Amino acid sequence: MAPTQPLSTSENCDAAVVAPWGTPVESSPMLGLVGLVLCLVPVDTLTAFPPKFQVGQLNEDVVVQCDTLEPHISWTLNGEQEPMAELEAEGRNLTILGLDLPATGNYSCWAGPVLLDTTYVVVSGAREEEINVSCQAESYHGSFHCSWPGPPSVVFRARLTHSDGSEGPWVPVAGGHGRFNATLADPSFCPFGEELRPLWLHLEGLSDTSYLSLSKHFFLRDIVRPDPPQELTLRWQGEQLHLTWAPPASWQRPTSYFVLLYHLQYELPNGTQVERFVEGVEETEVQVGARRVRISCRDPHTPLAWSPWSPWQDLDTPR
């Protein structure tokens, strides 16, 4: 099947007005406007999920149906009057014989100059393992985000299935490095309760020719990674030097229930770095003369999810 040629404002638009197959271009003045619009809008640019699309397997037949009761219709592919593709039209159905990449795109059905319906046809493409989706939550509030790499030419949409089985709406996601933000609306969600069923993220991607679909399931507890601790302060308690700090502002309260394990790292004048771990408290002794300090934290029950380090903070010993 030979590739179809997209419309060009420098060539096709000056040559003729585009019409559906078998429709004379002089049949209606409205058709001139239709042809003008098709010429001005590139047919190979996909910026959002089309309202109606259909996925087919490579080299297999695909049947596209026109949503109409009109008895006599004609078809165009990407606005082409006579697309070079193996097609069979019968009634409201159009069969694409042996779908390949040049045969993908917008299939539009017409009644004379009137556009009736459009279906975007693509080939089933990338496998799930080719897309690496990473999800993260800063706490147990029920808000989280997922991100994944993707070329700018691909548009995505995402949908969340809650632990109670209810499905959220499809949310459009920009191309490139996609990011999906979600807040659990499940009435049964409780940050203090045990998660019994996982969440499901459903992701669909669409390019000019291909389609991908994948799902990722996870428990909120498995994706929690806190923000860095804050408000580091150095003070004397008698003859001892103490460092105090506050939990991340985004962390779930009360901290007596949502306990954090803290990892401190401070540097001595000779360059030696000293490490200390404390759990459930927001202060510890620091060796007198330490030059600077930084701190990280995590939920004690998620050992791989340390927060990023706080920035190094110089320690001017108070007098």
Domain that residue 105 falls in:
53-124
Domains identified in the chain, total number: 3
Contact 89, 109 (CB under 8 A): no
What's the average model confidence in pLDDT over 234-239?
79
Does one domain contain both 180 and 256?
no
What pLDDT is recorded for position 230? 94
Q: Are residues 96 and 157 in the same domain?
A: no
The reply to whether 217 and 154 lie within a common domain is yes
> What single letter denotes the amino acid at residue 84?
M
Name the more confident of 128 and 61. 61
Domain match, 96 and 142 both: no
pLDDT in tens, 12-56: 322 222 233 333 333 332 222 222 222 223 334 678 889 999 999
Residue 285 predicted with pLDDT over 80: yes
pLDDT band at 182 (very low <50, low <70, confident <90, very high): confident
38 found inside a domain:
no
> Per-residue pLDDT tens for 51-96?
999 999 999 999 999 999 998 999 999 988 777 678 999 999 999 9
Q: How confident is the model at residue 174 (pLDDT cuts 50, 70, 90)?
A: low
Does residue 14 sit within a domain? no
Domain boundary among 70, 105, 124: 124
Structure tokens at 11: 């060539």
Residue 130 pLDDT class (50, 70, 90 cuts):
low
CB of 131 closer than 8 Å to CB of 154: no
- Both 138 and 82 in a single domain? no
Which of these three, 124, 155, 171, is where a domain ends? 124
The verdict on 189 and 258 lying in the same domain is no
- Domain end (from 206, 222, 238): 222
pTM for the full predicted model = 0.70
Q: Which residues have CB under 8 Å from 127's CB, separation 6+? A: 212
Query: Which position has the higher pLDDT, 180 or 69?
Result: 69
Domain-embedded: residue 304: yes
Whether the predicted pLDDT of 207 surpasses 90: no
The reply to whether 15 falls in a domain is no
The answer to whether 257 and 192 are in contact (CB under 8 A) is: yes
Least Cα distance to 79 among 181, 135, 127, 8 occurs for 8
Q: Looking at the structure, tell me whether residues 75 and 93 fall in a common domain.
A: yes
Quick check: is 181 in a domain? yes
CATH number, residue 202:
2.60.40.10
pLDDT, residue 307, reads 96
Question: CB of 63 within 8 A of CB of 93?
Answer: yes
Domain-embedded: residue 8: no
> Does a structural domain hold residue 41?
no
In a domain, 119, yes or no: yes
Of residues 63, 106, 101, 103, the one with CA closest to residue 86: 103
Of 62-66, 82-86, 247-251, 310-314, which range is least confident?
82-86
pLDDT of residue 186: 66
Nearest partner of 59 among 6, 107, 1, judged by Cα: 1
Cα 239 from chain centroid?
A: 54
